[in-house]
């Protein structure tokens, strides 16, 4: 093959490449799009139906553990195990699958009783056990408020135990402070901003999100957390600071010394803060978690 033929062949090859190159790019783009769509769909919680031709096929084509018959011609395919775990985690994070006994108790109250119950703090009858008898408060209202406290403990005791193992803070102290500071999870700061410990913002709100509820003054800014768990962890970090660190030298069972130590260190302006913590711990027997 002479040079002239080689030049012609090269020109033809280049011409052919320029023609098919855009098509190859289009095919590659389409393939990438389909592949990404497949990945997206495979990671979604999608339920679908299989249509079977006859009722007999429905009865025998799919074992009970693989599907559930909806009607004569449709089978619902169950979600995969990893989808179920994801759902369960989401439900726990959103508080949707947590039994709440106080809800059941509250539902049994009449509208008038619910309005009366709203006038009392969730901790009121715990901190002042003779108040209900002296004031003739309906026992159903007392039971509803007390159940709120027990539900709070059940919901967060495992978190408090985790913090105790990591930081040496008594479970009783963490739960008692959470109960008191958040009104058993019903304060605006707890419900709106997941702040269960009245934790204030850093200087000039640098590195955190803040909210103002005019607790002590209009200049008081309180931390905003993505979840209650972050609030518990930040509470532990706070007690590990120089202001409270010395309390970790106390035994976990010394809840009275811890309570008075928090008050003395200025955790709250309430002069009865330590006694209130002790009252909550003893009334709800929170000390049993530190034995």
pLDDT (tens digit per residue) in 166-206: 999 999 999 999 999 999 999 999 999 999 999 988 665 55
Mean pLDDT on 220-225:
86
Q: Is the pLDDT of residue 155 over 80?
A: yes
pLDDT of the residue at 102? 74
171 close to 160: Cβ distance less than 8 angstroms: yes
pLDDT of the residue at 34? 79
Class level of CATH domain 98-290: mainly alpha
189 close to 198: Cβ distance less than 8 angstroms: yes
Q: Is the pLDDT of residue 93 over 90?
A: no
State the pLDDT confidence band at 27, using cuts at 50, 70 and 90: confident
State the pLDDT confidence band at 88, using cuts at 50, 70 and 90: very low
180 close to 187: Cβ distance less than 8 angstroms: no
State the pLDDT confidence band at 37, using cuts at 50, 70 and 90: confident
Distance in angstroms (rounded) separating the CA atoms of residues 268 and 276: 11
Distance in angstroms (rounded) separating the CA atoms of residues 146 and 139: 10
First to last CA, the chain: 96
Picking from 180, 130, 183, 186, the residue whose alpha carbon sits closest to that of residue 280 is 180
Q: Is the pLDDT of residue 66 over 50?
A: no
Q: Is 244 exposed, middle or buried (0-12, 13-18, 19+ CB in 10 A)?
A: middle
Mean pLDDT on 43-59:
41
């Amino acid at each position: 093959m002479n040079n002239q033929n080689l030049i012609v062949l090269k020109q033809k090859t280049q011409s052919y490449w320029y023609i098919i190159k855009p098509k190859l790019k289009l095919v590659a783009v389409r393939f990438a799009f389909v592949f990404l769509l497949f990945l997206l769909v495979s990671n979604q919680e999608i339920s679908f139906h299989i249509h079977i031709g006859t009722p007999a096929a429905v009865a025998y084509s799919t074992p009970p553990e693989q599907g559930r018959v909806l009607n004569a011609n449709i089978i619902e395919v169950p979600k995969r195990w990893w989808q179920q775990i994801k759902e369960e985690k989401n439900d726990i994070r959103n508080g949707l699958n947590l039994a709440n006994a106080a809800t059941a108790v509250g539902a049994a109250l009449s509208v008038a009783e619910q309005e009366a119950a709203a006038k009392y703090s969730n901790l009121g009858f715990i901190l002042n056990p003779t108040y209900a008898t002296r004031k003739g408060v309906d026992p159903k209202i007392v039971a509803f408020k007390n159940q709120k406290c027990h539900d709070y403990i059940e919901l967060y005791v495992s978190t408090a135990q985790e913090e105790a193992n990591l930081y040496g803070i008594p479970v009783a102290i963490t739960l008692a402070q959470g109960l008191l500071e958040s009104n058993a999870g019903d304060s605006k700061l707890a419900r709106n901003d997941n702040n269960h410990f009245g934790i204030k913002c850093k200087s000039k709100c640098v590195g955190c999100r803040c909210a103002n509820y005019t607790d002590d003054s209009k200049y008081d800014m309180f931390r905003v957390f993505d979840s209650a768990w972050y609030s518990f962890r930040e509470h532990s970090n706070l007690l590990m600071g120089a202001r409270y660190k010395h309390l970790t030298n106390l035994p976990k069972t010394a809840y009275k010394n811890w309570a008075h130590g928090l008050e003395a260190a200025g955790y709250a302006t309430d002069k009865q803060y330590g006694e209130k913590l002790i009252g909550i711990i003893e009334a709800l027997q929170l000390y049993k978690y530190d034995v």
